[in-house]
Amino acid sequence: MNVTIAAAQYPITEHKTFTDWQKHVEQWVAQAAQQKAQLLLFPEYGSMELVSIFDAEIRADIRQQVVELDALKHDFCDVFAALARKYQVVIVAPSLPVVEGEKKHNRAFVFSPQGLVGYQDKFFMTRFEDEEWGIQTAPKILSLFETSWGNFGIQLCYDVEFGLGSQLLSSAGASLILAPSCTETIRGATRVHVGTRARALENQVYTVVSQTVGNASWSPAVDINYGYAAFYSTPDKNLPEEGIIKTMTPQKEDWLVETLDFTKIEAVRNDGQVFNFKDHQRLYTGILSSPIEVVRRPL
């Protein structure tokens, strides 16, 4: 019931060709595999570095970039499927804007050594995605990824700042919530980390954050990036008192690697100092099924 996870602090790197990008990504995967990682988490919009292989006109047009990136979708997936097979790891690839019909979604593909397993789309859009970029809310489908060591779900960046998705995934059997993220400020990164810690507490799960780092002046969509990787838990028996398992120095380019023991999650859910997970279910099975009155009491 143990798994070693690598969470990337990933730079948006400029590349000359798709092949150059492919070599770059393999270097990252190989580095994590050398550290015995079994599950690799890349950040939200890490794929935007592929825009660097386009001409200047496409680089400057953030909406057209999405269309051009979607045209690379199959090649992108082939690269990560091959890497997952070669290094015998599970990879949550950097999220990629995709076009579905007339809509554009933010999608994180997941690969195992057997190939593409599935994906998770983002539900909640930030103002930039919605108002400027044209990325849209995806159909409300949550993917629960099942493994021999436990089950996990993905909440992309802003999604993890809301409790519903993680709660539903945890109710379905997740003991791990992954939060790939892309933020440009300390405030933005902090919102993701606060949300991720809250989800760990509410559901008595492990949560892991991967974020983009550094600047990419050539990219108007992801030109400024601030972030850091982290592993969190609920603060309970045999787990860190503050719920912080491990973090990395912000803006450093590297993997943060940690081995998680899922028997500890099972133990606190069954006999913790509190029963956050069980009581959280009552929001939907009991408390919210009865009206809650808000009474105004002027002073």
Alpha helices (runs of H) in the chain, residue ranges in sequence order: 18-34, 56-59, 62-71, 73-87, 127, 163-171, 186-203, 262-271, 276-285
- In angstroms, the CA 232 to CA 43 distance is 16
CA distances from 213 to 9, 15, 181 (A): 6, 16, 10
Long-range contacts of the stretch 145-148 (C-beta < 8 A, 24+): 145/110, 145/117, 145/118, 146/173, 147/3, 147/90
User: Is 220 strand, coil or helix?
Assistant: coil
Question: Which residues face 40 on adjacent strands?
Answer: 6, 91
User: Is 122 strand, coil or helix?
Assistant: coil
Weakly modelled stretches of the chain, pLDDT under 70: 284-298
Amino acid at the residue 133: W
Residue 272 near residue 265 (C-beta atoms within 8 A):
no
Q: Are strands 206-215 and 2-11 parallel, antiparallel or unpaired?
A: parallel
Amino acid at the residue 73: K
CA distances from 95 to 90, 234, 259 (A): 15, 27, 24
Give residue 10's Cα distance to chain centre.
Answer: 12
- In angstroms, the CA 49 to CA 93 distance is 13
What pLDDT is stored for residue 146 in this prediction? 94
What pLDDT is stored for residue 218 in this prediction? 84
Residue 52 near residue 14 (C-beta atoms within 8 A):
yes
The first and second tokens of residue 233, run together, are 């838990």
The first and second tokens of residue 82, run together, are 């091959």
The full set of domains in the chain, from first to last, is: 2-289 (3.60.110.10)
Q: What digits encode the pLDDT tens for the residues 57-110?
A: 988 888 999 999 999 999 999 999 999 999 999 999 999 999 998 899 999 999
Q: Are strands 151-154 and 174-181 parallel, antiparallel or unpaired?
A: parallel
- In angstroms, the CA 274 to CA 188 distance is 30
- H or E segment and range at residue 9: strand 2-11
What pLDDT is stored for residue 104 in this prediction? 94
CA distances from 226 to 7, 12, 55, 75, 162 (A): 15, 11, 26, 28, 21
What pLDDT is stored for residue 291 in this prediction? 65
DSSP notation for 44-105: TTGGGGGGGGS-HHHHT-HHHHHHHHHHTHHHHHHHHHHHHHHHT-EEEPPPEEEEETTEEE
